[in-house]
Structure 1
Amino acid sequence: MTSTLIAPGTAIGKPAHRDPNVLRWLAAYASSMVGDSVYYIALSWAAVQQGSPAQAGAVMAVSAVPRALLMLGGGVIADRFGPRRVVIGSDLVRCAAGLSVAALLFLTSPGLWPLALLAVVFGTVDAVFMPAVGALPARVTTRDQLARVQGMRGLAIRFANVVGGPLGGLAVALGGAAAAFGLAGLLIAVSVPLLISVRMREPAVDDKAELGASGVDAGDAGKGAGGRGAAPGAAVLGALDSEASGATETAADKAPARATTPLGDLQAGLRYIRAHRVLAPLMLAIALGDLGFVGPLNVGLTLLADERGWGASGMGWVLSGFGVGAGAAALLLTVRGRLPHAGHVAGWAILAGSVAIGALAFVPGVLAAVGVALLVGLLAGLSGALCGALLQTQADPAYLGRVTAVSSLVSLGFAPLSMPLSAAAIGAWGTGPVFVGSAAVCGLGGVVALCVRDLRRAELPG
Structure 2
Amino acid sequence: MTTATSDAIAGATAGAARAPLPRPYLLWLAGTQAGLLGDAALYFALGWAASAHGGGAAGLVLTAITVPRTVLVLLGGAVADRFGARRVMLAGDAVMLAATVALALVAGGPGTPLWLLVAAAAVIGTVDAFYLPASGSMPGRLVPADRLPRALALRQAGGQVAVLLGAPLGGLLVAAGGLSGAAAADAVSFGIVLLVLLRVRPGGGPEGTPAVAPSAGRSAGPAGLLCEAASGVRLALGDPLLRAALLLTGAAAGALLPVVSLLGPLLARAHGWTAGTAGLVSGGQAAGVLAVAGLVAWRGALPRAGAGAAAGLCTASAGTAVLALAAGPVAAVAGSVVAGIGSGLFACHLGPLVLTGTPSSHLSRVQALLTLVQSLALVLSNALLGLLADTAGAALPTLLCALATGAAGLTALANPTLRRA
Out of 67, 70, 76, which is 2:69 matched to? Answer: 67
Rounded Cα–Cα distance in structure 1 between residues aligned with 2:327 and 2:17: 48
1:167–1:267: structure 2 CA closer, same or farther, 3 Å change rule? Answer: same
Paired amino acid for 2:331: A
Which structure has greater helix proportion? 2
Q: Retained in 2: the 8 A contact 1:38–1:167?
A: yes
2:6 alignment counterpart = none
Establish whether residue 32 from structure 1 lines up as the match of residue 43 from structure 2: no
Rounded Cα–Cα distance in structure 2 between residues aligned with 1:123 and 1:91: 13
Establish whether residue 409 from structure 1 lines up as the match of residue 372 from structure 2: yes
Q: What displacement does 1:258 show?
A: 4.2
1:109–1:173: structure 2 CA closer, same or farther, 3 Å change rule? Answer: closer
Q: What displacement does 1:418 show?
A: 1.4
Paired amino acid for 2:140: A
Out of 382, 386, 389, which is 2:345 matched to? Answer: 382
1:20 alignment counterpart = 23
Q: Write the mapping of 1:275-294 to structure 2, written as runs, cut at 5 A.
A: 275-294=238-257
Q: What displacement does 1:169 show?
A: 1.2
Root-mean-square deviation (CA, aligned residues, Å) is: 2.1
SS at match of 2:325: coil
Rounded Cα–Cα distance in structure 1 between residues aligned with 2:17 and 2:270: 51
- Higher mean C-alpha displacement, 120-129 vs 423-432: 423-432
1:116 alignment counterpart = 118
Out of 46, 49, 53, which is 1:46 matched to? Answer: 49
Q: Retained in 2: the 8 A contact 1:284–1:448?
A: no
How many residue pairs are counted as aligned between the two chains? Answer: 402
Q: What displacement does 1:18 show?
A: 4.7
Q: What displacement does 1:160 show?
A: 1.1
1:58 alignment counterpart = 60
Paired amino acid for 1:346: A
1:373-392 C-alpha deviation (Å, 9 max, x unpaired): 11110111111121111111
SS at match of 1:136: helix
Q: What displacement does 1:364 show?
A: 2.2
1:285–1:257: structure 2 CA closer, same or farther, 3 Å change rule? Answer: closer
Establish whether residue 177 from structure 1 lines up as the match of residue 179 from structure 2: yes
2:237 alignment counterpart = 274
4+ runs deviating over 4 angstroms: 12-18, 107-110, 253-258
SS at match of 1:338: coil
Paired amino acid for 2:332: A
Rounded Cα–Cα distance in structure 2 between residues aligned with 1:175 and 1:417: 36
Q: Retained in 2: the 8 A contact 1:90–1:129?
A: yes
Q: Retained in 1: the 8 A contact 2:260–2:285?
A: no
Q: What displacement does 1:20 show?
A: 2.1
Q: Retained in 1: the 8 A contact 2:49–2:112?
A: no
1:281–1:33: structure 2 CA closer, same or farther, 3 Å change rule? Answer: same
1:453 alignment counterpart = 416
1:18–1:286: structure 2 CA closer, same or farther, 3 Å change rule? Answer: closer
1:235 alignment counterpart = none
Q: What displacement does 1:335 show?
A: 0.8
Rounded Cα–Cα distance in structure 2 between residues aligned with 1:108 and 1:364: 45
1:3 alignment counterpart = none
Q: Retained in 1: the 8 A contact 2:27–2:200?
A: yes
2:303 alignment counterpart = 340
Rounded Cα–Cα distance in structure 1 between residues aligned with 2:73 and 2:196: 25
Paired amino acid for 1:68: T
Identity of aligned residues (%): 33
Rounded Cα–Cα distance in structure 2 between residues aligned with 1:316 and 1:131: 31
Rounded Cα–Cα distance in structure 2 between residues aligned with 1:125 and 1:444: 36
Rounded Cα–Cα distance in structure 1 between residues aligned with 2:126 and 2:196: 23
Q: Retained in 2: the 8 A contact 1:29–1:191?
A: yes
1:362–1:129: structure 2 CA closer, same or farther, 3 Å change rule? Answer: same
1:352–1:337: structure 2 CA closer, same or farther, 3 Å change rule? Answer: closer
Rounded Cα–Cα distance in structure 2 between residues aligned with 1:442 and 1:255: 37
Out of 130, 146, 164, which is 2:148 matched to? Answer: 146
Q: Retained in 1: the 8 A contact 2:47–2:58?
A: yes
Q: Retained in 2: the 8 A contact 1:78–1:86?
A: yes
Rounded Cα–Cα distance in structure 1 between residues aligned with 2:16 and 2:308: 27
1:389-418 C-alpha deviation (Å, 9 max, x unpaired): 111111112111111111111213331331
SS at match of 1:200: coil
Rounded Cα–Cα distance in structure 2 between residues aligned with 1:109 and 1:430: 38
SS at match of 1:361: helix
Q: Retained in 1: the 8 A contact 2:96–2:190?
A: yes
Q: Retained in 1: the 8 A contact 2:170–2:182?
A: yes
Q: Retained in 2: the 8 A contact 1:25–1:198?
A: yes
- Higher mean C-alpha displacement, 318-327 vs 164-173: 164-173
2:105 alignment counterpart = 103
Rounded Cα–Cα distance in structure 1 between residues aligned with 2:111 and 2:330: 45
1:170-205 C-alpha deviation (Å, 9 max, x unpaired): 111111111111111211221111011113134xxx
Q: Which runs of 5+ in 1 are unaligned?
A: 1-9, 203-226, 229-248
2:5 alignment counterpart = none
1:442 alignment counterpart = 405
User: What is the TM-score of this pair, normalised by structure 1?
Assistant: 0.82
2:198 alignment counterpart = 196
1:423 alignment counterpart = 386
Rounded Cα–Cα distance in structure 1 between residues aligned with 2:326 and 2:408: 24
1:209 alignment counterpart = none
Rounded Cα–Cα distance in structure 2 between residues aligned with 1:110 and 1:348: 47
